[in-house]
A and B are shown apart, each in its own frame.
Chain A
Amino acid sequence: MIDRPYDVLSYALLVHAAPYSEQGALSALRFAQAAVAQGHRVSSVFFYRDGVHNASMLMAPPQDEVHLAEGWRSLAQEHGTELLVCVAAGLRRGLMSAEESARHGREAHNVEPPFVLTGLGQLVDAMLGNDRVITFAP
Protein backbone atom coordinates (compact mmCIF):
# COMPACT_ATOMS: atom_id res chain seq x y z
CA MET A 1 0.00 0.00 0.00
CA ILE A 2 1.45 3.33 -1.03
CA ASP A 3 1.11 6.18 1.45
CA ARG A 4 -0.15 9.16 -0.53
CA PRO A 5 0.12 12.47 1.32
CA TYR A 6 -1.33 14.36 -1.66
CA ASP A 7 -3.46 13.81 -4.72
CA VAL A 8 -2.49 11.37 -7.42
CA LEU A 9 -1.43 13.40 -10.44
CA SER A 10 -0.99 12.62 -14.11
CA TYR A 11 2.30 13.67 -15.69
CA ALA A 12 3.57 14.22 -19.19
CA LEU A 13 7.33 14.46 -19.64
CA LEU A 14 9.04 16.27 -22.51
CA VAL A 15 12.55 15.00 -23.23
CA HIS A 16 14.85 17.16 -25.36
CA ALA A 17 18.03 15.45 -24.25
CA ALA A 18 19.94 12.89 -26.28
CA PRO A 19 20.81 9.63 -24.49
CA TYR A 20 24.26 9.48 -22.87
CA SER A 21 25.65 12.72 -24.33
CA GLU A 22 23.53 14.73 -21.88
CA GLN A 23 22.08 13.85 -18.49
CA GLY A 24 18.53 14.97 -19.24
CA ALA A 25 17.26 11.64 -20.56
CA LEU A 26 18.49 9.80 -17.47
CA SER A 27 17.04 12.55 -15.25
CA ALA A 28 13.68 12.12 -16.98
CA LEU A 29 13.69 8.33 -16.60
CA ARG A 30 14.68 8.59 -12.90
CA PHE A 31 11.93 11.16 -12.38
CA ALA A 32 9.35 8.93 -14.09
CA GLN A 33 10.35 5.95 -11.95
CA ALA A 34 10.11 8.05 -8.78
CA ALA A 35 6.73 9.47 -9.83
CA VAL A 36 5.14 6.06 -10.43
CA ALA A 37 6.71 4.78 -7.19
CA GLN A 38 4.76 7.53 -5.40
CA GLY A 39 1.54 6.40 -7.03
CA HIS A 40 1.37 9.11 -9.68
CA ARG A 41 0.62 8.31 -13.29
CA VAL A 42 3.13 9.12 -16.05
CA SER A 43 0.75 9.14 -18.99
CA SER A 44 3.20 9.99 -21.73
CA VAL A 45 6.76 10.85 -22.53
CA PHE A 46 7.31 12.95 -25.63
CA PHE A 47 10.76 12.75 -27.21
CA TYR A 48 11.72 15.82 -29.18
CA ARG A 49 14.81 17.15 -30.98
CA ASP A 50 17.87 15.04 -30.05
CA GLY A 51 15.71 13.27 -27.48
CA VAL A 52 14.35 11.09 -30.29
CA HIS A 53 17.54 8.98 -30.10
CA ASN A 54 16.12 7.49 -26.89
CA ALA A 55 13.79 5.49 -29.14
CA SER A 56 16.39 3.52 -31.07
CA MET A 57 15.80 -0.22 -30.68
CA LEU A 58 19.46 -0.69 -31.68
CA MET A 59 20.75 1.05 -28.55
CA ALA A 60 23.31 -1.30 -27.00
CA PRO A 61 25.17 0.22 -24.05
CA PRO A 62 27.63 -1.88 -21.99
CA GLN A 63 25.83 -4.31 -19.70
CA ASP A 64 26.95 -2.56 -16.51
CA GLU A 65 25.48 0.78 -17.59
CA VAL A 66 21.91 2.08 -17.51
CA HIS A 67 20.03 1.00 -20.64
CA LEU A 68 17.86 4.04 -21.32
CA ALA A 69 15.71 2.58 -24.10
CA GLU A 70 15.09 -0.52 -21.98
CA GLY A 71 14.16 1.73 -19.06
CA TRP A 72 11.59 3.53 -21.20
CA ARG A 73 10.20 0.23 -22.50
CA SER A 74 9.81 -1.07 -18.94
CA LEU A 75 7.98 2.10 -17.97
CA ALA A 76 5.57 1.59 -20.86
CA GLN A 77 5.04 -2.09 -20.18
CA GLU A 78 4.62 -1.83 -16.42
CA HIS A 79 2.78 1.48 -16.15
CA GLY A 80 1.09 2.01 -19.50
CA THR A 81 3.13 5.12 -20.33
CA GLU A 82 2.87 6.22 -23.95
CA LEU A 83 6.27 6.75 -25.57
CA LEU A 84 5.74 9.39 -28.25
CA VAL A 85 8.50 10.31 -30.67
CA CYS A 86 8.31 13.42 -32.83
CA VAL A 87 8.20 12.07 -36.38
CA ALA A 88 9.78 15.14 -37.99
CA ALA A 89 12.67 15.20 -35.51
CA GLY A 90 13.00 11.41 -35.84
CA LEU A 91 13.10 11.19 -39.63
CA ARG A 92 15.75 13.92 -39.80
CA ARG A 93 17.93 11.88 -37.47
CA GLY A 94 17.34 8.46 -39.02
CA LEU A 95 14.77 7.19 -36.52
CA MET A 96 12.22 5.18 -38.51
CA SER A 97 9.42 2.77 -37.80
CA ALA A 98 8.77 -0.10 -40.23
CA GLU A 99 5.96 1.92 -41.79
CA GLU A 100 8.08 5.05 -42.31
CA SER A 101 10.98 2.95 -43.57
CA ALA A 102 8.73 1.43 -46.25
CA ARG A 103 7.38 4.85 -47.15
CA HIS A 104 10.90 6.19 -47.63
CA GLY A 105 12.15 3.10 -49.49
CA ARG A 106 14.64 2.06 -46.81
CA GLU A 107 15.68 -1.48 -45.96
CA ALA A 108 15.77 -1.17 -42.19
CA HIS A 109 13.97 0.44 -39.29
CA ASN A 110 14.93 1.16 -35.70
CA VAL A 111 11.72 2.29 -33.96
CA GLU A 112 9.25 -0.29 -32.69
CA PRO A 113 6.43 -0.24 -30.17
CA PRO A 114 6.05 0.81 -27.43
CA PHE A 115 7.79 3.82 -29.07
CA VAL A 116 5.46 5.47 -31.56
CA LEU A 117 6.32 8.09 -34.17
CA THR A 118 3.81 10.88 -33.90
CA GLY A 119 3.27 14.59 -34.44
CA LEU A 120 3.40 17.72 -32.30
CA GLY A 121 -0.38 17.53 -31.95
CA GLN A 122 0.17 14.66 -29.55
CA LEU A 123 2.45 16.90 -27.49
CA VAL A 124 -0.29 19.52 -27.30
CA ASP A 125 -2.74 16.81 -26.24
CA ALA A 126 -0.30 15.69 -23.55
CA MET A 127 0.11 19.27 -22.32
CA LEU A 128 -3.64 19.81 -22.14
CA GLY A 129 -4.61 16.41 -20.83
CA ASN A 130 -2.27 16.04 -17.82
CA ASP A 131 -1.94 17.74 -14.46
CA ARG A 132 1.76 18.41 -14.90
CA VAL A 133 4.20 18.76 -17.81
CA ILE A 134 7.88 18.53 -16.88
CA THR A 135 10.55 19.38 -19.45
CA PHE A 136 13.93 17.69 -19.33
CA ALA A 137 16.40 19.88 -21.12
CA PRO A 138 19.52 19.00 -23.08
Chain B
Amino acid sequence: MMLHLLNRSPQFDGIYWDLSEAFGAEDHLLLIEDACYAALPAAAASLAAFGGRVSVLSEDAASRGLLDRLSDGVTVVDMAGFVALTATFPRSLSWF
Protein backbone atom coordinates (compact mmCIF):
# COMPACT_ATOMS: atom_id res chain seq x y z
CA MET B 1 0.00 0.00 0.00
CA MET B 2 1.66 3.13 -1.24
CA LEU B 3 0.52 6.74 -1.37
CA HIS B 4 1.90 8.41 -4.48
CA LEU B 5 2.29 12.20 -4.36
CA LEU B 6 2.41 14.00 -7.70
CA ASN B 7 3.01 17.71 -8.23
CA ARG B 8 3.51 17.94 -12.00
CA SER B 9 0.84 18.94 -14.53
CA PRO B 10 -0.33 16.36 -17.13
CA GLN B 11 1.96 18.14 -19.57
CA PHE B 12 4.73 16.00 -18.03
CA ASP B 13 3.24 12.83 -19.49
CA GLY B 14 6.44 10.81 -18.96
CA ILE B 15 6.02 11.05 -15.18
CA TYR B 16 2.37 9.96 -15.42
CA TRP B 17 3.47 6.99 -17.53
CA ASP B 18 6.24 6.01 -15.10
CA LEU B 19 3.85 6.36 -12.16
CA SER B 20 1.22 4.18 -13.86
CA GLU B 21 3.86 1.48 -14.32
CA ALA B 22 4.69 1.58 -10.60
CA PHE B 23 1.09 1.92 -9.37
CA GLY B 24 -0.01 -1.13 -7.35
CA ALA B 25 -3.51 -2.53 -6.92
CA GLU B 26 -3.87 -1.09 -3.40
CA ASP B 27 -2.10 2.20 -4.06
CA HIS B 28 -3.56 5.68 -4.06
CA LEU B 29 -2.60 8.84 -5.93
CA LEU B 30 -2.83 12.35 -4.47
CA LEU B 31 -2.60 15.25 -6.91
CA ILE B 32 -1.04 18.36 -5.41
CA GLU B 33 0.22 21.68 -6.79
CA ASP B 34 0.20 21.70 -10.63
CA ALA B 35 -0.93 18.06 -10.77
CA CYS B 36 -4.42 19.40 -9.91
CA TYR B 37 -4.81 20.12 -13.63
CA ALA B 38 -4.96 16.35 -14.18
CA ALA B 39 -8.26 16.34 -12.27
CA LEU B 40 -9.99 18.35 -15.02
CA PRO B 41 -12.34 16.33 -17.27
CA ALA B 42 -10.25 17.32 -20.28
CA ALA B 43 -7.24 15.53 -18.76
CA ALA B 44 -9.13 12.36 -17.80
CA ALA B 45 -6.90 10.22 -20.03
CA SER B 46 -3.88 11.06 -17.86
CA LEU B 47 -5.59 9.41 -14.85
CA ALA B 48 -7.13 6.43 -16.67
CA ALA B 49 -4.46 4.04 -15.38
CA PHE B 50 -5.18 4.68 -11.69
CA GLY B 51 -8.55 2.97 -11.40
CA GLY B 52 -10.33 5.84 -9.69
CA ARG B 53 -8.02 5.69 -6.67
CA VAL B 54 -7.16 9.36 -7.05
CA SER B 55 -7.59 12.40 -4.79
CA VAL B 56 -6.84 16.06 -5.36
CA LEU B 57 -5.82 18.64 -2.77
CA SER B 58 -8.61 21.19 -2.49
CA GLU B 59 -6.53 24.24 -1.57
CA ASP B 60 -4.23 23.76 -4.56
CA ALA B 61 -7.18 23.22 -6.89
CA ALA B 62 -8.89 26.31 -5.45
CA SER B 63 -5.80 28.50 -5.85
CA ARG B 64 -5.76 27.57 -9.55
CA GLY B 65 -9.48 28.24 -10.03
CA LEU B 66 -10.23 24.57 -10.69
CA LEU B 67 -12.35 23.57 -7.71
CA ASP B 68 -15.73 23.82 -9.48
CA ARG B 69 -14.49 22.11 -12.64
CA LEU B 70 -13.02 18.83 -11.35
CA SER B 71 -13.85 15.36 -12.71
CA ASP B 72 -16.52 13.53 -10.71
CA GLY B 73 -14.29 10.50 -10.23
CA VAL B 74 -11.61 12.37 -8.29
CA THR B 75 -12.01 12.72 -4.52
CA VAL B 76 -11.37 16.18 -3.11
CA VAL B 77 -9.41 16.30 0.17
CA ASP B 78 -8.27 19.24 2.27
CA MET B 79 -4.86 19.50 3.97
CA ALA B 80 -6.18 17.52 6.96
CA GLY B 81 -7.24 14.86 4.45
CA PHE B 82 -3.72 14.87 2.98
CA VAL B 83 -2.36 14.15 6.47
CA ALA B 84 -5.01 11.46 6.96
CA LEU B 85 -3.95 9.75 3.71
CA THR B 86 -0.33 9.66 4.90
CA ALA B 87 -1.54 8.12 8.15
CA THR B 88 -3.57 5.48 6.29
CA PHE B 89 -0.81 4.52 3.87
CA PRO B 90 2.37 3.37 5.62
CA ARG B 91 4.64 4.57 2.81
CA SER B 92 4.60 7.46 0.38
CA LEU B 93 6.48 8.21 -2.80
CA SER B 94 6.86 11.68 -4.32
CA TRP B 95 7.16 11.95 -8.09
CA PHE B 96 8.83 14.92 -9.75
Number of residues from A at the complex interface, CB < 8 A: 23
A34-B7 contact in complex given A132-B86, A135-B94, A138-B96, C-beta closer than 8 Å: no
Expressed in whole angstroms, the minimum distance between the Cβ of A51 and any Cβ of chain B is 12
> Contacts of A138 on B, CB cut-off 8 Å?
96
Closest residue of A by beta carbon distance from B88: A6
Q: Which label, helix, strand, loop or mixed, suits the secondary structure of the B interface?
A: helix
Number of residues from B at the complex interface, CB < 8 A: 21
Residues 31-46 of chain B, each 1 if its beta carbon lies under 8 Å from chain A, else 0: 0111000000000000
Q: Which label, helix, strand, loop or mixed, suits the secondary structure of the A interface?
A: mixed
Residue of B7, B79, B96 near A30 (CB, 8 A) is B79
A136 to B33, CA, bound (A): 11
| Interface: B92 (CB within 8 A) | yes
Is the pair A27, B32 in contact by a Cβ cutoff of 8 Å?
A: yes
A35-B96 contact in complex given A23-B33, A135-B5, C-beta closer than 8 Å: no
A34-B86 contact in complex given A134-B5, A136-B94, C-beta closer than 8 Å: no
Interface of chain A residues 1 through 44 with chain B (CB within 8 A)? 6-7, 9, 11, 16, 23-24, 27, 30-31, 33-35, 37-38, 40
Is the pair A34, B80 in contact by a Cβ cutoff of 8 Å?
A: yes
Is the pair A31, B83 in contact by a Cβ cutoff of 8 Å?
A: yes
A138 to B87, CA, bound (A): 23
Residues 105-138 of chain A, each 1 if its beta carbon lies under 8 Å from chain B, else 0: 0000000000000000000000000001111111
A23 to B32, CA, bound (A): 10
A31-B80 contact in complex given A9-B87, A24-B33, A137-B7, C-beta closer than 8 Å: no
| Interface: B27 (CB within 8 A) | no
18 contacts between A and B (CB under 8 A): A9-B87, A23-B34, A27-B32, A27-B33, A27-B60, A30-B59, A31-B82, A33-B79, A34-B80, A34-B82, A34-B83, A132-B86, A132-B90, A133-B92, A135-B5, A135-B94, A137-B7, A137-B95
Q: Which residues of A does B touch, CB under 8 Å?
A: 6-7, 9, 11, 16, 23-24, 27, 30-31, 33-35, 37-38, 40, 132-138
